[in-house]
């Protein structure tokens, strides 16, 4: 891993976790960081998320050979423009955003003279801010790297090696394919969760508070997802709207088919559908992307987070 000076712009869950992971797994590298929130900068300094918390983004990137933007997709262009004059000519620029086409365009237009290789670590929790980060967030999770068509293979290899050093499994794909895949595996589930929890909230008066009081495990899992950072997810849906709308249309069609099966009493259709989806859950566990324990391995997560 050839990066000696790493700048992290945005010190929330992702940025803070990168800083802590670098300290644990790449102790020879020096990290600088910046967050637009003064409170976040102060807390990041207290937790030592990076070696040096800077007062400006320009100061953070001034000597960096790798810059990672960990800001919401809608703030990506402005964040990049802010550091443009201070950014070393040979610095590699990357990010952690969840929608790659829009972010690649924003970073490329803001930093036309720099090498930009977008990336997306598919790892996170419902928590946000500088207190949310922990060093093992990326361990055995996928990081999808979406290089441009013409890419310096040496720089690409450096970025891949960086994420592997933090414990991630790396996959390379086009930005277009990434956005389509993540629309169904991440973006649509969040949209559904926000909708279900919002509907339940609207029904609170009707049920006299019983929706929250008697929440079953399924609803509680939806509320965990719906507790995610609203700014980030607003930007994700707007920046990846075409893929999200495509998957939402497919979901609506499938939901209509299940609605019909329930209406006409077609138990065979329901059973076959539920059997198929149960197998998908088992496959996810077998791939090591979730945990079958009753607490979903969250006890281990809390231990890592507090270490």
* Same domain, residue pair 234 and 253: yes
Structural domain harbouring 46: 5-173
**pLDDT of 100:** 95
Q: Can you give the pTM of this predicted structure? A: 0.81
- 109: domain CATH number? 3.40.50.720
Per-residue pLDDT tens, the chain, 307 aa: give them.
Answer: 589 999 999 999 999 999 999 999 999 999 999 999 999 999 999 999 999 999 999 999 999 999 999 999 999 999 999 999 999 999 999 999 999 999 999 999 999 999 999 999 999 888 889 999 999 999 999 999 999 999 999 999 999 999 999 999 999 999 999 999 999 888 998 999 999 888 887 776 666 567 767 766 678 788 888 888 888 889 999 999 999 999 999 999 999 999 999 999 999 999 999 998 888 877 766 666 555 554 444 455 444 443 3
* 41 to 46, 52, 151, 262, 306: CA distances (angstroms): 9, 10, 34, 53, 19
* Same domain, residue pair 194 and 299: yes
* Same domain, residue pair 269 and 152: no
Please identify, among 156, 173, 190, the residue that sits at the C-terminal boundary of a domain.
173
Please identify, among 122, 150, 173, the residue that sits at the C-terminal boundary of a domain.
173
* Same domain, residue pair 225 and 127: no
* Same domain, residue pair 282 and 135: no
* Same domain, residue pair 183 and 267: yes
Please identify, among 145, 173, 201, the residue that sits at the C-terminal boundary of a domain.
173
* Same domain, residue pair 117 and 238: no
How much of the chain, in percent, has pLDDT values that exceed 70?
A: 88
* Same domain, residue pair 146 and 47: yes
* Same domain, residue pair 145 and 24: yes
Q: How many domains, in total, are found in the chain?
A: 2
* Same domain, residue pair 283 and 202: yes
* Same domain, residue pair 41 and 167: yes
* Same domain, residue pair 166 and 184: no
- 267: domain CATH number? 1.10.3660.10
């Amino acid at each position: 891993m050839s990066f000696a000076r790493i700048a992290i712009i945005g010190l929330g869950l992702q940025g803070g976790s990168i800083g802590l992971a670098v300290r644990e797994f790449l102790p020879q590298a020096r990290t600088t960081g910046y967050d637009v929130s003064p409170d976040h900068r102060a807390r990041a300094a207290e937790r030592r998320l990076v070696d040096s918390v800077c007062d400006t983004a320009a100061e953070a990137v001034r000597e960096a050979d790798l810059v990672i933007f960990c800001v919401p997709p809608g703030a990506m262009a402005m964040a990049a423009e802010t550091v443009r004059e201070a950014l070393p000519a040979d610095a590699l620029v990357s990010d952690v955003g969840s929608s790659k086409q829009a972010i690649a365009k924003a970073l490329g237009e803001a930093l036309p003279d720099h090498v930009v290789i977008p990336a997306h670590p598919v790892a996170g929790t419902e928590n946000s801010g500088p207190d949310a980060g922990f060093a093992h967030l990326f361990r055995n999770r996928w990081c999808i790297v979406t290089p441009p068509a013409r890419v310096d293979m040496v720089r690409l290899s450096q970025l891949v090696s960086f994420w592997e050093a933090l414990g991630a499994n790396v996959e390379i794909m086009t930005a277009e394919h990434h956005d389509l895949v993540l629309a169904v595996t991440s973006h649509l589930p969040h949209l559904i969760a926000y909708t279900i929890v919002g509907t339940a909230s609207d029904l609170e008066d009707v049920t006299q508070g019983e929706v929250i009081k008697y929440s079953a495990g399924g609803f509680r899992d939806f509320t965990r997802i719906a507790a995610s950072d609203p700014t980030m997810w607003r930007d994700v849906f707007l920046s990846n709207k075409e893929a999200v709308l495509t998957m939402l249309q497919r979901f609506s069609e499938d939901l209509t088919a299940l609605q019909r099966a329930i209406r006409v009493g077609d138990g065979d259709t329901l059973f076959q559908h539920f059997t198929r989806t149960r197998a998908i859950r088992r496959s996810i566990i077998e791939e090591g992307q979730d945990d079958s324990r009753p607490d979903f391995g969250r006890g281990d997560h809390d231990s890592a987070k507090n270490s």
